[in-house]
Structure 1
Amino acid sequence: MKLAMAAVFVLLPSTAVSLEPLPPVPYPAENPPTEAKRILGKILFWDEQLSTDNSIACGSCHLPSANGADKRIGLEPGFDKTLTTADDNLGSLGVVSRNELGAATSHPIFKFTAQVTNRAAQSYFSGLWAEHNFWDGRAGPEFIDPKLNEIVITSGGALENQVLGPLMSSVEMAKVDQTAEEVIAKLKQAKPLALATNLPEDIRLALVSSPSYSELFFKAFANSQISLKHIAFAIATYERSLVADQTPWDMANATQQQLPYLENLGWEFFQQSGCADCHKPPLFTDNKFYNIGIQGRNTDAGRKQISLLEQDLGAMKVPSLRNTALKTTYMHSGQFTTLEQVIDAYADVPFDDVATKMPNGDKYNFQFTEYQRKALVAFLTNSLTDERVKNESYPFDRPKLRSEHHNHSVPDPIRNGKITVNLKGLVEITWDDFSEKEVGFDLEIVRNDGRHYWASQSPFEDIFTEAGQSYEYQIFTRNAQQVKSFAARLNIQVPSNLGRSIQLIILALMLVFIFVICWNRKRVK
């Protein structure tokens, strides 16, 4: 039976591509696209300052040249929570474990190194048309404003939901118990993309006219107030602009021309074998959930964690195969590193007793000759790769991240550091901003009660102080590799509420006095 199936593949003639092109990307009615929103989303997506400790951006795990996935791979212990055993995963890197104050804490497995997520990052392309996002589909179509706790997108909001998951995750981008107030306060003080270099032209021009996040949010939403809702709206708008629809397959489809001989054979095998049943053209995914039987029962529960249905045990969302050859790992577990390994896995599913059936009711049991396998790889590698994605050209262009620079020298401490209580009653720290030679430099600011902050430009305001309290700050300069300088120390006493009131009265009297003098001089003239 297996040999007969293979023979049928060989005997069928090659035909031209003749399918519908990609449909328009759907936008939720509550979040229509604008250029201002797109460019804000692009800036936020690539800004490492969006993470608690300035170590990772959304784009760190979703590089275009890796098909919107992650080139940085780490070992995660899997179900048994023990490294270097059979159920380990190759996951995406996150942040160092940090407590609610931001202080680094020793993780039971990863110690003081970056944590590794239990699933490999998906391509952002897979989410553009999907009703549910993430491998398990936990980001659904209804989007709830975290601040108001009310529905602000009734359908089509899966991308908006997806944004906030990593942003607030203590594994991926945040410290434990990250709050919206902390994210917003940090962005208000941040210079957009202060840690990045090689800014794309659209970003550079946007920052010339709107050099602060408050100004960028005002342009995008007619309101300078930063919120998690608007962060999600902007990033989702940017992601919806990343349509990889210029592959050789798309070009052949548009002109009714055949692909090159070997790739066209691979396309035929792809359709006839059943691959296209789940990886349906033109999206090359049906955006549904299946357990394909590559892991045993005691592994990631997948979709069942969300649906609570037993039949969804181990089921994961079908990823799009567009640009799949650019990925460094495959499957949610990252357990395969080549397309050949993926094809071989479908030929011999190790746990077919737990695998769900294909849409046509068959088991996963694809048998290919060596030539068919070669043709399939040629099709997947060449015909489905958009050169703009591969080369990171517009709209898939991006800045160079701070983490991609290599500067291992120990940085000098801050220059001319000063501390005061400003007119808003907040502790304010100033220093000489970094020179152009100090690429990717930032500050780690540690308060004597253990609270940590990260800043990239002067001044820094501490919004979490109490009247009448004394504070000492240790201030470390960090280079692109997060090597720290020696600490500079600054101390301050925050006035009590009574003392603050007296200060304001004195300031008001001084202003009145100055006004009177100026007025009298004007009258004399």
Structure 2
Amino acid sequence: MMTDPRRRLSSKPWCARIAAAAVAASAAGLGLARADPGENTAAPTPGSVFDAAHWRNVFARPREIPAPQDNPTTPEKVALGRQLFDDVRLSGSNGVACSSCHQPELSFSDGVPRRIGLAGEPLARRTPPLWNLAWGLTFFWDGRATSLEDQVRFPVENRHEMGGNITETATELARDAGMRAKFATAFRDDPAVTPANIAKAVAAYERTLVSPGTRFDRWVEGDDTALSSDERAGLMLFVGKAGCAACHTGWRFTDEAFHDIGLATAGPDRGRGSVLDLPAADHAFKTPSLRERVWTAPYLHDGSLNSLEDVVAHYVGRVQRRPTLSGDLKPALNLTENERDQLVAFLASLSSEDPPRPLGLPSRVQMAGSAMDRPPVSAGTVGQRDRRFTPGAVALKKGEALTIVNDDTRTHNVRIDDPRLSFSSDAQAPGGRVVVTFPETGQFRLICGIHPEMRLDAVVSE
């Protein structure tokens, strides 16, 4: 049975503001910021003085919503994707739709720890919310999909979730004259009902699911009165003593990385370790965004924590020590009861006062290209300090070796997923070195499988 998230939270003073809807989040619209700080702006260790200007920059919303070059966002495509999101024909039984689990009124989640699957047993993991996925680097708790288009087929074809076959779905939809017309309108250059176009339409719709502005966004924009004194104190704890911003960074409050946070409930689910076939990444799951989390309880990949208070309590005194534990966690975190309440109060300010609603197609959409983030420099050695490849782009000759040195405090995993070159370094411990040789010319993208926000471009010439 679903539980109203407001009922879970009603014991705390800050919840009264949420229930009362004192400020309408929808009035802020998308709340796109005037500055574009970048999704994963590095956050230096705060000093004794709270630097409000710095953190306003770190947490500012970007100007535009990204979309890939091969799937530009259009009103026709979004409308088709929204219809497909509700269409039970995507399932094998014609009885389950994407929206069956990702319910708009529950922040595109479902309000239960683990949903009961088609076989009558709880699914392996919690249904994640879908807000702000346009900025995602990987998808699902274990990051097994690398694009929104790629992720569509996983739940459709999972025998425990929707039990469908996307190729058969395309055939069935193609028999519907109305659907054929909508696909032809949405995909004028390729007016066919195909699995690829189904995925593109659903992904285009999902990119419009941008969480509305909140009181915290008003604070980011310069309104010092938007947060209460307890919420401001909680923010200072979040970026300082509690160390939450080490992983929950950027305007979405996620580093897109995978961490073992020491859950006592960890069982056979290896998480990212299974995807990478890397024991060093066992029990590591993607850092969830903290946007609209008031409306998405219970929490974590297994739904094992019922409230934000439980989440804070876990980090304060329940973290299980093991070799795979994330190095970004505080080794020992002590918070008073009042500090815990302040931290929870701040977390609540990242959610709308009422259950948020989709705001429709954004007015500004940016096509994401494959261009490098920065010009390449001639370098045979690259560092990885602070979860960044330095330099971020290198120029090499074909056959020349590139050495990647882990001068960080974290374990990394250097990967190349390219038809021309497939490479994985396994676990690269601090101090370790990885050597890559490129047998062909062209541009190659290297990432860290554990911290996918780490990106390195190699331009290889004759």
Residue 94 of structure 1 pairs with residue 117 of structure 2: yes
Letter in 2 for 1:266: G
Question: Which residue of the partner structure matches residue 298 of structure 2?
Answer: 329
Letter in 1 for 2:308: L
Question: Which residue of the partner structure matches residue 414 of structure 1?
Answer: none
Judged with a 3 Å threshold, the aligned counterparts in structure 2 of structure 1 residues 333 and 52 are, in CA distance, closer, same or farther, namely: same
Give the TM-score taking structure 2 as reference length: 0.62
In structure 2, the residue corresponding to 1:26 is in which secondary structure? strand
Are the equivalent residues in 2 in contact too, given 1:293–1:354 (CA < 8 A)? no
Structure 1: unaligned runs, 5 residues or longer:
1-8, 74-89, 98-109, 141-157, 191-210, 397-525
Are the equivalent residues in 2 in contact too, given 1:22–1:245 (CA < 8 A)? no
Deviates more, 1:305-314 or 1:11-20: 11-20
In structure 2, the residue corresponding to 1:27 is in which secondary structure? strand
Match of 2:215 among 224, 248, 258: 248
In the TM superposition, residue 94 of structure 1 has moved relative to its aligned partner by 3.0
Question: What aligned pairs does 1:382-401 form with structure 2 within 5 A after superposition?
Answer: 383-387=349-353, 390-392=355-357, 394-395=359-360
Question: Which residue of the partner structure matches residue 187 of structure 1?
Answer: 173
In structure 2, the residue corresponding to 1:306 is in which secondary structure? helix
Letter in 2 for 1:183: T
CA deviation vs aligned residue, 1:345-379 (integer Å, no higher than 9, x gap): 111234212442333x743x332111111111111
CA deviation vs aligned residue, 1:321-353 (integer Å, no higher than 9, x gap): 000111121010110111111110111234212
Question: Which residue of the partner structure matches residue 271 of structure 1?
Answer: 239
Match of 1:358 among 327, 334, 354: 327
Are the equivalent residues in 2 in contact too, given 1:296–1:354 (CA < 8 A)? no
Question: What aligned pairs does 1:27-38 form with structure 2 within 5 A after superposition?
Answer: 27-38=67-78
Match of 2:185 among 184, 207, 219: 219
2: distance between equivalents of 1:366 and 1:68? 32
In the TM superposition, residue 27 of structure 1 has moved relative to its aligned partner by 1.3
Match of 1:292 among 245, 261, 274: 261
Match of 1:167 among 156, 167, 187: 156
In the TM superposition, residue 281 of structure 1 has moved relative to its aligned partner by 3.0
In the TM superposition, residue 117 of structure 1 has moved relative to its aligned partner by 1.3
Structure 2: unaligned runs, 5 residues or longer:
1-45, 362-462
Letter in 2 for 1:255: G
1: distance between equivalents of 2:61 and 2:212? 7
Are the equivalent residues in 1 in contact too, given 2:230–2:345 (CA < 8 A)? yes
Match of 2:201 among 229, 234, 250: 234
Give the TM-score taking structure 1 as reference length: 0.55
Match of 2:125 among 119, 126, 147: 119
Question: Which residue of the partner structure matches residue 148 of structure 1?
Answer: none
Are the equivalent residues in 1 in contact too, given 2:258–2:287 (CA < 8 A)? yes
Which of structures 1 and 2 has the bigger CA Rg?
A: 1
In the TM superposition, residue 297 of structure 1 has moved relative to its aligned partner by 6.2
In the TM superposition, residue 124 of structure 1 has moved relative to its aligned partner by 1.3
In the TM superposition, residue 256 of structure 1 has moved relative to its aligned partner by 4.5
In structure 2, the residue corresponding to 1:19 is in which secondary structure? helix
Residue 138 of structure 1 pairs with residue 177 of structure 2: no
Are the equivalent residues in 1 in contact too, given 2:260–2:282 (CA < 8 A)? yes
